[in-house]
Amino acid sequence: MTESLLEDGWDVVGVDCFNRNYARREKLRNLERARSWDNFDFVPIDLADGDLYEFVAESDVVFHLASEPGVRASWGTRFETYIRNNVLATQHLLDAARAHPEKRLVYASSSSIYGQAERFPTPEDVVPAPRSPYGVTKLTAEHLCEAYGRSFGIPVAALRLFTVYGPRQRPDMAFSRLVRAALSGEPFEIYGDGRQTRDFTFVGDVVQALRDAARSPWCGIANIGGGSRRSLNDAVEIIGELLGHLRILRRPEAAGDARDTAADISVAAAAFGYRPRTSLRDGLAAMVATERVSDEAL
């Protein structure tokens, strides 16, 4: 996202608190390209308790992509961390935006708010029923965005992102682990039978959606999906074709995981012209190419 804006001449201020969901060195490595631009500044600050008023005042658009991610890790004692980084941080940012209702905010919500949806593809008017504490916090933050928008006139676009993947993905995510396993010869763990389906959405399509939503006067909630529903087994087969045989370890289905997801993207298409352009095969090939370059650099 940041690099896309910088390439088009935007001045960008990145904010991150370097939470411990994965290694700090990985996050710093992802910042290297952005830091090579003169029109990029980075500020290490915690959204939950930092002073955000100046950032909002000096911005034309706020892209709120920060969160504590992960369905499986959100159970148990870590739930307090999810409340802090997903709910309190969002409320703090929205409170700073109250003084500047002309500033547009684009919030990255999640398909996890639906849980196991009652119909597919799933439209935005389906009643949310999250199946994990993570999904609960993302839905709560979404409701906060709506409340501040109605009460204080903040123009907010909330995009429910469906299973985002692509180069430089978080190392704990399934496709990152899948590509690394194929390259290293290590086994890849699949939770469940692998027939669970997802609306896999390439990161480049998500970036375009975020930017188009920021340019549009539209406010509301919209699904952002990849345009097709594929199984995890399909992804494993594609990686096998790209890199060779994979060793698979089967694990029991994980608590909180939805069996299937599929996005009805008609709202986003009508509101700001969203159209996914990247197939699952092309997206996974891009991940493979990036990981190979990274391995060679090491």
Taking a C-beta distance cutoff of 8 angstroms, is the pair 155, 220 a contact? no
pLDDT of 298 above 50: no
The more confident residue out of 22 and 18 is: 18
pLDDT of 294 above 70: no
Average pLDDT over residues 134-146: 98
d(CA 113, CA 132): 9
User: Which residues neighbour 190 within 8 Å (Cβ) at sequence distance 6 or greater?
Assistant: 232, 236, 248, 249, 250, 251
**Known catalytic membership, residue 114:** no
d(CA 287, CA 164): 12
Structural domains of the chain in order of their starting residue, each with its CATH number: 2-168+200-228+261-277 (3.40.50.720)
d(CA 158, CA 160): 7
In one-letter notation, the amino acid at residue 263 is A
**Among 1, 139, 27, CA closest to 74:** 139
Q: What pLDDT band is residue 100 in, cutting at 50, 70 and 90?
A: very high
Helix (H, G, I), strand (E, B) or coil at 75: coil
pLDDT of 35 above 60: yes
pTM for the complete prediction?
0.95
**Among 155, 147, 153, 165, CA closest to 214:** 155
Given the residues 134, 148, 165, 274, select the one marked as catalytic: 134
The predicted structure's pLDDT at residue 296: 52
User: Which residues neighbour 51 within 8 Å (Cβ) at sequence distance 6 or greater?
Assistant: 45
User: Which residues neighbour 175 within 8 Å (Cβ) at sequence distance 6 or greater?
Assistant: 165, 169, 235, 284, 287
The pLDDT tens digits of the residues spanning 217-235 come to 999 999 999 999 999 999 9
In one-letter notation, the amino acid at residue 223 is N
For the record, the structure tokens of 87 come out as 């709910």
The pLDDT tens digits of the residues spanning 153-197 come to 999 999 999 999 999 999 999 999 999 999 999 999 999 999 999
The predicted structure's pLDDT at residue 245: 79
- Within the chain, strands assigned E span 12-16, 40-44, 61-64, 104-110, 156-161, 164-165, 188-191, 197-198, 201-202, 220-224, 230-231, 248-251
Q: How far apart are the first and last CA of the chain?
A: 25
